[in-house]
Amino acid sequence: MRTRFRLLLIEYEMNTKLNENIETILSLEISDERKSVLQPLIDYIKSKREKGQPIRLNFICTHNSRRSQFSQIWAQTAADYFEIPAFCYSGGVEVTACNERTIHSLERSGFIISKHGHSNPIYFILHEKDARPIIVFSKLYDDVINPHGIFATIMTCSHADENCPFIPGSEARIPVRYEDPKEFDDTNLESQKYDERSKQIASEMFYVFSRV
């Protein structure tokens, strides 16, 4: 009983922290240049919503371990925040594992996360205790868990964008590239740079969904 009570306290603290972070994220400034980059994604979501069609977004980077995972999680969180019925996914062109630095950054943001497995763990990520979990693990862009028709592909890194020219079933291909925090791995800037990239992606995904 005491352990369960402690877990509830931890979940409450994490949700409070996430809500505080979202308030900060909503206040971050986005440059006109980035707004131009994001506009095709806004237009796609808006069009699907106006037609009453499913909104499916598949975020792609090479290893599906950092930027595409941040994008999937923050896009789904933003969609749920604005009550827009979108389904967000992620994938790559190689299977590795969702990098633990990515997970640690999300935990610092206030997400509730449970880990299952070892070599390529599956993470269940919650932005609210009773929310539908966001399922995260490294996978190919056409993994069985991802959509195979009528979806938009969002390319989050230049390598995947340049080396994966065709995504079967995708009806729109939208480049929204981010710098890779990987270059700061095992440095004293590691946590700072992962959190910076996470917050940038979060602010842009919240901007996108606020416009539709």
**Confidence at residue 131, expressed as pLDDT on a 0 to 100 scale:** 83
**Confidence at residue 11, expressed as pLDDT on a 0 to 100 scale:** 54
Angle ∠(47,60,86) on CA atoms, nearest 5: 35
Average pLDDT, the chain: 91
List all residues 6 or more positions away from 41 whose beta carbon is below 8 Å from its beta carbon.
Answer: 57, 152, 154, 174, 176, 208
> Mean per-residue pLDDT for 174-181?
96
Distance CA 108, CA 110 (A): 5
Q: Which DSSP symbol is given to 62?
A: S
Tokens standing for residue 87: 């389904």
Does pLDDT of 84 surpass 50?
A: yes
pLDDT band of 5, cuts 50, 70, 90: very low
> Mean per-residue pLDDT for 145-171?
86
> Mean per-residue pLDDT for 185-203?
97
**Confidence at residue 68, expressed as pLDDT on a 0 to 100 scale:** 97
Does pLDDT of 1 surpass 70?
A: no
Quick: pLDDT tens for 24-82: 999 999 999 999 999 999 999 999 999 999 999 999 999 999 999 999 999 999 999 99
- Which domains are present in the chain? 2-23+33-210 (3.40.50.2300)
**Confidence at residue 72, expressed as pLDDT on a 0 to 100 scale:** 98
Whole-prediction pTM value?
A: 0.92
Strand ranges, E, within the chain: 55-60, 86-91, 112-116, 122-126, 134-136, 151-155, 170-175
Strands 151-155 and 55-60, by their bridges, are parallel
Q: Which DSSP symbol is given to 132?
A: P
CA torsion angle for 22, 34, 134, 53 (degrees, to 10)?
A: 110
Is the C-alpha dihedral spanning 211, 167, 201, 125 positive or negative?
Answer: positive
Place of tokens 């992606």: 201
Does pLDDT of 16 surpass 90?
A: no
Does pLDDT of 8 surpass 60?
A: no
Place of tokens 């595409």: 68
Pick the range with the lowest mean pLDDT from 13-22, 67-76, 140-149, 197-206: 13-22
Q: In degrees rounded to 5, what are phi and psi of residue 135?
A: -95, 125
Does pLDDT of 128 surpass 70?
A: yes
Pick the range with the lowest mean pLDDT from 92-101, 131-140, 155-164: 155-164
Distance CA 22, CA 187 (A): 27
Q: How many helices (H) and strands (E) are present in the chain, helices listed first?
A: 6, 7
User: By three-state DSSP, how is residue 139 classified?
Assistant: coil
**Confidence at residue 161, expressed as pLDDT on a 0 to 100 scale:** 67
User: By three-state DSSP, how is residue 66 classified?
Assistant: coil
**Confidence at residue 188, expressed as pLDDT on a 0 to 100 scale:** 97
